[in-house]
């Protein structure tokens, strides 16, 4: 996955495209720039909606892609959508 190096001046902005995976593209995984040393990885679940924002609920945040998607059936070798 093509991810930008962390840039603290861009904290809160996407550092990668969002990749959809899981049955019926249920999950989206993406990296976000932080004000610290490295990007953080987030996973959103389209089947759970955040009551405040109305957006898919963020269910995980991790320092690595592997940790963020662990146990969710993510396979980088499979064909999945990105946006």
What is the tens place of the pLDDT at every residue in 1-11? Answer: 778 899 999 99
40 within a domain of the structure (yes/no)? yes
Residue 65 belongs to a domain: yes
Q: Which domain holds residue 37?
A: 8-69
Phi and psi, residue 65, nearest 5°: -60, -45
Determine, yes or no, domain membership for 62: yes
Residue 78 lies in a domain: no
The reply to whether 34 falls in a domain is yes
Domain count, the chain: 1
3-state secondary structure the chain: CCCCCCCHHHCCCECCCCEEECHHHCEEEEEECCCCCCCEEEEEEEEEECCCCCCEEEEEEECCHHHHHCCCCCCCCCCCCEC
Q: Using 50, 70 and 90 to split pLDDT, how confident is the model at 74?
A: confident
CA distances from 42 to 14, 18 (A): 10, 10
Query: What tens digit of pLDDT does each residue of 41-60 get?
Result: 999 999 999 999 999 999 99
Q: What is the pLDDT of residue 79?
A: 47
The pLDDT, as a whole number, for residue 81 is 58
């Amino acid at each position: 996955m093509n991810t930008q190096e962390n840039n603290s001046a861009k904290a809160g902005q996407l550092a990668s495209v969002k990749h959809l995976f899981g049955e019926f593209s249920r999950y989206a995984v993406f990296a976000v720039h932080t004000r610290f040393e490295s990007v953080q990885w987030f996973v959103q679940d389209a089947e759970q909606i955040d009551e405040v924002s109305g957006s898919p609920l963020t269910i995980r945040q991790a320092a690595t892609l592997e940790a963020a998607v662990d146990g969710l059936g993510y396979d980088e070798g499979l064909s999945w959508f990105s946006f």
